[in-house]
Structure 1
């Protein structure tokens, strides 16, 4: 069934996150070339927004999507690899979030994070999502609602802590 005729599932939701963050990385790259006086502050603000989005996205994948998929498929090496990629991304995110200034090193970390996320997204989009959709016992439409609700909880918690 073409994607326009099937219900949106958790893979669609996660991929929408991927696209939104890719746009933010593109905006960051444009800002890094900007000569505006406030460009450094704008880059820091955008980088922190990217980090928040990626942190929430990774957490819902780790709490909901990956465990369900791990139970449903035989080849779990792809999930293990994704979890290691998440940990490496979290390390970079921590470095970005603790930065005081948007200097050359800061920009490099955000750029590398973007490249890293691109690689991770390609694997999810091309390998993990098709495997998830092939498993009939996974209710990916219901999982979408669960992931959406959890994402909102996490974003609310982060906003309350800020």
Structure 2
């Protein structure tokens, strides 16, 4: 029997897949918008802002939580280790977009470059890294719990930085609520 969606998101790989789906959706939305004549640059900028936020959060959670746990477990598997992506090119493209005006003729090309960079990486992660993580038997449920706690802490920190009153920790829709497990 297939587990319910709410239960599957406890798994680290399912959380990353959900991130990837959001990123793909935003890339498709932007791609559709850039082909529409008379599309406002404000709308393009809004989508790119959401895309860059999603990419930055995903890169940060991979680097700070996922990779440190996964890297040692993969051992000498060169193909899987190579799928642990260096996010530096992504950060450079995001920084370039932050500095650009959405009306700049090179803006669309930079977003396309960003998409090409990310989509290739997503496919490699799903085809190689995720498979190897399952093969080595890593406790992805416990890792997923740790990732969910990290996400909530980031959300609280973001609220604090903008001076908003802190609400009780409520995860984003689709993320697990109960995170009592920890990694050894």
TM-score interval (norm. to shorter):
0.7 to 0.9
- Provide closer, same or farther for how the CA distance between residues 36 and 154 of structure 1 changes in structure 2, counting only shifts above 3 A: farther
CA contact (8 A) 2:83 2:128 kept: no
- For 2:105 and 2:81, the matched residues in 1 are separated by 33
**2-structure distance, mates of 1:34, 1:159:** 35
2:31 aligned residue: 29
Q: How does 1:13-162 map to 2 (within 5 A)?
A: 13-36=15-38, 39-75=40-76, 77=78, 78-80=80-82, 82-84=84-86, 86-136=87-137, 138-158=138-158, 160-161=160-161
Gaps of 5+ in 2: 163-184
Cα deviation, residue 158, structure 1: 4.1
User: How many residue pairs are counted as aligned between the two chains?
Assistant: 157
CA RMSD of aligned residues (A): 2.2
* 1:18-42 residue CA offsets vs partner (Å, 9 max, x unmatched): 01110100000111122345x2111
Classify 1:59/1:76 alpha carbon distance in 2 versus 1 (closer, same or farther; 3 Å).
Answer: farther
For structure 1, which runs of at least 5 residues remain unmatched after alignment?
none
2-structure distance, mates of 1:96, 1:127: 30
Higher relative contact order (CA 8 A, sep 6+): 1
TM-score w.r.t. length of structure 2: 0.76
Deviations 1:110-161 (A, max 9, x none): 111111111000110000001111122x210111121122223334444554
